[in-house]
Amino acid sequence: MVELFRDLLDLPISIGTIHNRLEAAAGSASEINQSQDLAGIEVGLHDEIFQGAQPVLVGVDAASTYCYLLQGVDRRDEETWGWHLLDMIEQGFDPDYTIADGGSGLRAGQKAVMPETPCHGDIFHIQQQFEQVANSLSRQAQGATTRRIKLEQKIDKARLIGPAPKKLTSQLVHAKRQEQELIGLSKDIKTLLHWMFHDVLELAGPSLTVRQELFDFIVTELQQRENKKYPALRKLRKALYNQRDDLLAFAGVLDQKLAQIAQHFKLPLQAVRDVCLLHRKQPTSNAYWDRWNQLYAQISAKFYGLMEAVGEALKQTPRASSLVENLNSRLRNYFFLRRQLGDSYLGLLQFFINNRCFMRSQVPERVGKSPKQLLTGQPHPHWLELLGFQRFQRA
């Protein structure tokens, strides 16, 4: 930093001056963070990230990506989460619901201080767990095939000079049996994984009741395949069983929205559901346009408005707290500040990411706007000016 000022701006500055400026900026940033009205947040995403061994509590608005909680803590238990959520409530935080993983401290803390606010399940973490189990079994199956091939090669070499040893033959029989078992199990788990995330937890999907039946079927199939040799399967099955209602809570929200759309357009609910399911298909596929033409013929003049309304309902029904993981990856680029600022660096980072405009985004509406602007709908000065600095301008 000292060299940057000296070589590019021809401005001598000491490390102590930089430290003092950063400390002052961190104090101002913390005051601005704490003064922000959070009443506009409808869906909050909660999670825990780690900076080294230290847990950091995180809260992000699903719509605007505004980060309203970024706090390093010693523990992540009920009391700690409850304490910091109370601070958010004082700033007007009152969402329709939140989304979080199965963390016991996180959920207990919210239940203690926000008992009327539902906490939906986060599909990101359970999907990751399911995929890890499926990939692990696939690797084990590949390993079993490799062991069987090597044993066959050993036996072929042994037969060149005489009868194959009984020990090798016995090992081959066992290896073939294990290979067949693992290949079958791996295929079954991959099929169940596909059903879970392309039929049950897919956003555009069947009603909540149907999803619950499919969910229970998958859990039962997993239970039938549990084995002491594969403890990860039992752990996965228990996680799914314990979180079913939380994971499927988004489907209930979507069902309500589709019912309201059907009432607004004065159409049967099934017609609205059919349009919803159309969003599962790729717009570049023939299947999409074949179905599009069928639905247009059925619904006629209301079709375009219905498509737009359903698309908006899908867009505004989050299912995961993965925005927190995205935030974590962005924060890692700035964690070096801890060496200069100590614990106050998180408040400065929180201010920076909330007031800095997106240069690019997969959501076009966010480009050129900051999370704070998206949350409030109001423009604001540059983040440096908010901290009291005067921006450098060419003469």
* Distance between CA atoms of residues 202 and 221, nearest Å: 20
Give the DSSP per-residue string, 35-81: H---TT-SEEEEEEEEETTEEEEEEEETTT--EEEEEE-S--SHHHH
Closest CA to 88 of 115, 110, 104, 106: 110
Closest CA to 66 of 386, 323, 360, 365: 323
Q: Are 19 and 32 in contact (CB under 8 A)?
A: no
Per-residue pLDDT reduced to its tens digit, 312-340? 999 999 998 888 878 877 777 776 655 55
Angle, helices 231-247/208-224, rounded to nearest 10 degrees: 170
CA 83 to chain centroid, in Å, comes to 24
DSSP secondary-structure letter at 367? B
pLDDT at position 221 is 96
The dihedral of CA 7, 12, 16, 17: what is its sign? negative
pLDDT at position 332 is 73
pLDDT at position 1 is 67
CA distances for 79 relative to 48, 193, 233, angstroms: 15, 36, 32
Closest CA to 243 of 116, 109, 100: 100
pLDDT at position 20 is 80
* CA trace torsion 167, 168, 171, 175 (10° rounding): -170
> Which residues of the chain are modeled with pLDDT < 50?
none
The pTM of this model reads 0.83
CATH class held by domain 2-118+320-386: alpha beta
pLDDT at position 338 is 58
